């Protein structure tokens, strides 16, 4: 009888010890948070990342012991870091167990990819290279791929029109091909039936609308003035008058910093120089914003044919219907430039 009591007592002690151990493990791994509630832990896992490197990444943001436990919990000889590469965000309230599970499962956190106010495709490529896990060379290769651009309805010159400035969500490890597909999907969503019909009514294709929008946006930073500028250029297009848009000359010269356009600049041979060529240039001279595109589609109807920056340097313009009126506006502006010593 005594022996049975001893055995029961031993079993009870073992059970209690086991329950205690389980309770401790539950508290340490499942219940306790890895950091404070207002903390966000950011983890980039690249191909070939070692467990020591992952520990160091975590230990820079949370307690080193908790970082070690996360790595030990998830890491084994079968763990494939190449398959789990990506960007992960862990909330401070996450437990060691859930943090390890998220990383081991490859449950990436989408990142925001934002671009705006970019002129050249090279600047977009640089932004992609800075934000996403793809090389500049890989995306450049696709942008120069005639067949791929044609698949989306562009060529290697006009492909710039497919990219609409905005904030998008991607996984950090998105492939260059998938990135292009997604950007084309966003482009198609933007160019809905209503916008296509508006473009058709003014006699332009969506690419031509983007091309004109790029000139409008270079001409004025004032969104309330964009529809007026768009209307002016549409008036000139319809009358087969050269656009004579200074930003196209800057693009042809390759220098957007020019503050004063001189005769030598106007003589620059280029299909983008709208002083030498009638009609629109071959492609956008910058990545136009949605605002500028909509300004073209919803242009202001008027009789203006000329514009000149206001002499008060406010960013707005004086508009004119006749050349004599425009020359007076231009004289006031040039005098203001001279007073400021701008050459």
Q: Do 222 and 260 sit in the same domain of this protein?
A: yes
205 and 184 share a domain?
Answer: no
Indicate whether 277 and 298 sit together in one domain: yes
In a domain, 220, yes or no: yes
- Residue-wise over 252-270: b if at least 16 C-beta within 10 A, else e? bbeeeeeeeeeeebeebeb
In a domain, residue 161? The reply is yes
Run of H or E including 220: none
CB 132 within 8 A of CB 184: no
% of the chain exceeding 90 in pLDDT: 66
Residue 209 and residue 213: Cα distance in Å, rounded?
Answer: 6
The pTM is what? 0.85
Q: What is the mean pLDDT of residues 131-148?
A: 95
Give the pLDDT of residue 343: 66
* Domain stop point among 105, 120, 136: 105
Q: Is 328 a member of any domain?
A: no
pLDDT, residue 92, reads: 86
Of the residues 171, 190, 209, the one at which a domain ends: 190
Shared-domain flag, residues 81 and 119: no
In a domain, 181, yes or no: yes
Q: Are residues 230 and 274 in the same domain?
A: yes
Residue 121 falls inside a structural domain: yes
Tokens for 182, please give them.
């997604």
Contacts of 174 (CB under 8 A, 6+ apart): 132, 133, 134, 182
Contact assessment for residue 56 and residue 64, using Cβ atoms and an 8 Å cutoff = no
Say if residues 120 and 250 touch (Cβ distance below 8 Å): no
HSE at residue 186, side-chain half, CA atoms within 13 A, is: 17
Both 207 and 270 in a single domain? Answer: yes
User: DSSP class of residue 95?
Assistant: B
Q: Is residue 132 part of a domain?
A: yes
216/289 same-domain check: yes
325 found inside a domain: no
What span, in angstroms and rounded, lies between the C-alpha atoms of 302 and 78?
70
**Shared-domain flag, residues 86 and 152:** no
- Among residues 203, 217, 201, the alpha carbon closest in space to that of 164 is found at 217
User: Which neighbouring-strand residues pair with 167?
Assistant: 114
Number of domains in the chain: 3
Assess whether 208 and 280 both reside in one domain: yes
Quote the pLDDT of residue 106. Answer: 84
Question: Domain boundary at 105, 126, 144, which?
Answer: 105
* HSE value, Cβ hemisphere, 13 Å, CA-based, for 152: 31
pLDDT at 11: 53
**Residue 214 shares a structural domain with residue 251:** yes
Question: Can you read off the two tokens belonging to residue 270?
Answer: 């280029």
Q: CA–CA separation, 154 vs 163, rounded Å?
A: 12
pLDDT digits (tens, 9 = 90+) for 95-119: 888 888 888 888 899 999 999 999 9
Residue 246, pLDDT score: 93
Tell me the pLDDT tens digit for each residue of 243-296: 999 999 999 999 888 888 889 999 999 999 999 999 999 999 999 999 999 999
Residue 126 lies in a domain: yes
C-alpha to C-alpha distance for 95 and 98, rounded to whole angstroms: 5
Structural domain boundaries enclosing 183: 111-190
> Are 236 and 281 in a shared domain?
yes
Q: How many CB atoms lie within 10 A of CB 201?
A: 9
Q: What is the pLDDT of residues 299-330, one digit of tens each?
A: 999 999 999 989 888 889 999 999 999 999 98
Average pLDDT, the chain: 88
Query: Has residue 23 got a pLDDT over 70?
Result: no
Assess whether 212 and 255 both reside in one domain.
yes
């Amino acid at each position: 009888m005594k022996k049975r009591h001893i055995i029961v007592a031993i079993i009870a002690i073992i059970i209690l010890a086991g329950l205690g151990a389980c309770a401790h493990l539950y508290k340490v791994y499942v219940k306790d948070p890895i950091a404070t509630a207002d903390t966000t832990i950011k983890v980039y896992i690249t191909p070939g990342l070692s467990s020591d490197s992952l520990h160091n990444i975590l230990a820079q943001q949370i307690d080193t012991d908790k970082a070690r436990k996360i790595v030990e919990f998830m890491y084994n000889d079968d763990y494939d870091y190449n398959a789990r590469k990506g960007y992960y965000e862990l909330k401070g309230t996450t437990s060691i167990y859930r943090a390890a599970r998220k990383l081991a499962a490859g449950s990436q956190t989408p990142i925001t990819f934002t671009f705006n106010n970019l002129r050249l495709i090279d600047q977009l490529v640089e932004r992609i290279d800075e934000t996403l896990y793809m090389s500049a060379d890989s995306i450049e290769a696709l942008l120069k791929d005639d067949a791929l651009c044609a698949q989306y309805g562009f060529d290697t010159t006009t492909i710039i029109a497919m990219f609409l400035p905005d904030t998008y969500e991607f996984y950090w490890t998105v492939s260059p091909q998938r990135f292009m597909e997604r950007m084309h999907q966003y482009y198609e969503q933007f160019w809905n039936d209503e916008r296509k019909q508006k473009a058709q009514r003014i006699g332009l294709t969506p690419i031509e609308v983007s091309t004109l929008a790029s000139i409008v946006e270079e001409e004025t930073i004032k969104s309330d003035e964009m529809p007026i500028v768009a209307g002016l250029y549409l008036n000139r297009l319809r009358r087969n008058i050269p656009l004579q848009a200074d930003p196209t000359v800057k693009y042809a010269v390759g220098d957007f910093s020019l503050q004063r356009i001189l005769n030598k600049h106007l003589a620059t041979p280029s299909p983008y120089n709208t002083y030498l060529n009638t009609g629109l240039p071959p492609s956008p001279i910058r990545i136009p914003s949605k605002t500028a595109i909509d300004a073209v589609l919803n242009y202001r109807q008027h009789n203006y044919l000329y514009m000149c920056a206001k002499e008060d340097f406010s960013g707005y313009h004086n508009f004119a219907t006749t050349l004599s009126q425009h020359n007076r506006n231009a004289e006031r502006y040039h005098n203001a430039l001279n007073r400021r010593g701008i050459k």
